[in-house]
Amino acid sequence: MGFIDTIRSFNKPESIKGGDKVEKKEALDMFCYQCSQTARGTGCTVRGVCGKEPTVARLQDNLLFAIKGISAYLYHARELGYTDEEVDAFIERGFYSTLTNVNFDPSKFVELALEAGNMNIKTMQLLKKAHIESYGEPVPVEVPVGAIKGPGIIATGHSLKALEELLKQTEGKGINVYTHSELLPAHGYPGLKKYNHLVGQLGGAWFDQKQTFTKYPVAVVGTSNCVLIPKDEYKERMFTVGVAELPGVQHIQNYDFTPVIEKALELGDLEEEPKEITLTTGFGASTILSLAPKIKELVESGKIKQFILVGGCDSPLAQAKYYTEFVEKLPDATVVLTLACGKYRFNAMDLGDIEGVPRLIDIGQCNDAIVAVDVAVALTELFGVGLNEVPLTIVLSWMEQKAAAILWSLLALDIKGMYIGPILPGWANDDIINVLVENFDLRPIGDAEEDIKTIMG
């Protein structure tokens, strides 16, 4: 079996319902229905009536997905008053290039995807600056998982601005505020952790929300993606703010959380739970780089053999169990950097430390991939080698379009030999995969033990 066949067979998903195998339907070569010429009035699926080739159509889709990812980070930066004209201009140009009869050149769309990667780096830097200037640089913090007696509000999503406004408005009201999913790293920011009623975390990654929000009868605020259509059990105590909106769910305007506070008080107390799990988060670039001399010594003495960035978007696919097994089976001489909600696959594990350097370092939300880039660059300086020679391997999980933007950012930095899963992006046909494999040595995740052997050499 050739490499592409291996990738394709790997890419056949198992059903997430009860683990039954399902056959993946044959993919369409392309799908485009954006203009009136569209085939049979329903969609061009083999080749565009305009002459657009399937690979161009898929590269256009990829560019749109990467731009969607960038726009999420840009939105959260703008919430805090930070904007970037160059990124705005790129987004316009990127969108425009996918209009009917504008650009039929596949190589240009690969260039545009790499440019999107660079623009995403710029945007993640902008958002990091916005977060740090607004709330200070994160510091490591232990976050208890479990309820505290008293009324509560769970905040989920990515918006630190929305969380800050919620914390300000609930201060002194006897309400405990909990994070869920991608708001966990908020606990590390001095400007947010100073609120004593930011008490902990309930639940884990985004897709446990129906279970978590049903279990805890408190008010819930969705601040961004990933929100799910709520169950009836908690629909009337759920709220959205900012870009997130859900049918039948009250939307908060201008960060005025009065209805949420009223609902939380009306719902009454949660019962105290034993805190069996504590999650550590909040490693900013400064904290990690303060360990640089020790890291150098440990790498040179062979006590640290490899840094591995394991992170990205978690998904409920059965194959995502790979990430738990992968981290569990890593040799002791490895340090895991992690970010985004993929971390919930393993962040409750106690991996210990190597002479004071923690073996599990949570650097934050998905946009904090920029911190990983800073650390990677610092490693190049520390060891006097190029990015592809530092003892760092990237193992990415992707679910939605922010991860597509991050993937192109890492490719734009010319990082080679990354692993990606739990399945390969659906927009990538064999032509595109060939380019990614040949130019970037992009690899699908496979068997955890085998991958570890390859990575460790």
Q: Which residues bind ligand SF4 (CB under 6 A)?
A: 32-35, 37-38, 44, 48-50, 52, 100, 181-182, 206, 225-226, 313-314, 340-341, 366, 399-400, 402
Q: Could you tell me the strand order of the sheet in which 152-156 lies?
A: 250-252, 238-241, 219-222, 152-156, 176-180, 198-201, 141-145, 277-281
Question: What is the token pair recorded at 2?
Answer: 């050739």
- Nearer CB in complex with ligand SF4: 3/33: 33
Query: What H or E segment, with its residue span, contains residue 281?
Result: strand 277-281
Whether omega before 226 lies within 30 degrees of 0, making that bond cis, reads yes
Distance from C-alpha of 351 to C-alpha of 326, rounded to nearest angstrom: 13
Distance from C-alpha of 148 to C-alpha of 170, rounded to nearest angstrom: 16
- Nearer CB in complex with ligand SF4: 159/225: 225
Least distance from ligand SF4 to the Cβ atom of residue 184, Å: 10
- Nearer CB in complex with ligand SF4: 151/312: 312
Least distance from ligand SF4 to the Cβ atom of residue 48, Å: 3
- Nearer CB in complex with ligand SF4: 167/341: 341
- Nearer CB in complex with ligand SF4: 76/122: 76
Least distance from ligand SF4 to the Cβ atom of residue 158, Å: 6
Is the Cα torsion angle 291, 294, 297, 300 positive or negative in sign?
Answer: negative
10 Å CB burial of residue 271 (0-12, 13-18, 19+) is exposed
Least distance from ligand SF4 to the Cβ atom of residue 110, Å: 19
Least distance from ligand SF4 to the Cβ atom of residue 90, Å: 21
Q: Name the closest residue to ligand SF4 (Cβ).
A: 48
- Nearer CB in complex with ligand SF4: 90/207: 207
- Nearer CB in complex with ligand SF4: 158/359: 158
10 Å CB burial of residue 85 (0-12, 13-18, 19+) is exposed
Least distance from ligand SF4 to the Cβ atom of residue 161, Å: 16
Question: What is the token pair recorded at 329?
Answer: 């089976």
User: Are residues 35 and 22 in contact, defined by beta-carbon separation less than 8 angstroms?
Assistant: no
- Nearer CB in complex with ligand SF4: 197/322: 322
What is the residue type of 149? K
Residue-by-residue DSSP string for 319-374: GGGHHHHHHHTS-TTEEEEEESGGGGGTTTS---EETTEESEEEEESGGGHHHHHH
Give the side-chain half-sphere CA count within 13 A for 395: 29
- What is the SS3 string spanning 5-47? HHHHHHCCCECCCCCCECCCCCCCCCCECCCCCCHHHCCECCC
- Nearer CB in complex with ligand SF4: 112/298: 112
Question: What is the token pair recorded at 293?
Answer: 């001399």
Place of tokens 């993946």: 24
- Nearer CB in complex with ligand SF4: 4/35: 35
- Nearer CB in complex with ligand SF4: 341/448: 341
Residue-by-residue DSSP string for 300-325: HTTS--EEEEEEE-----GGGGHHHH
Strands 419-421 and 443-444: what pairing? parallel
Place of tokens 């008293």: 150
Least distance from ligand SF4 to the Cβ atom of residue 154, Å: 14
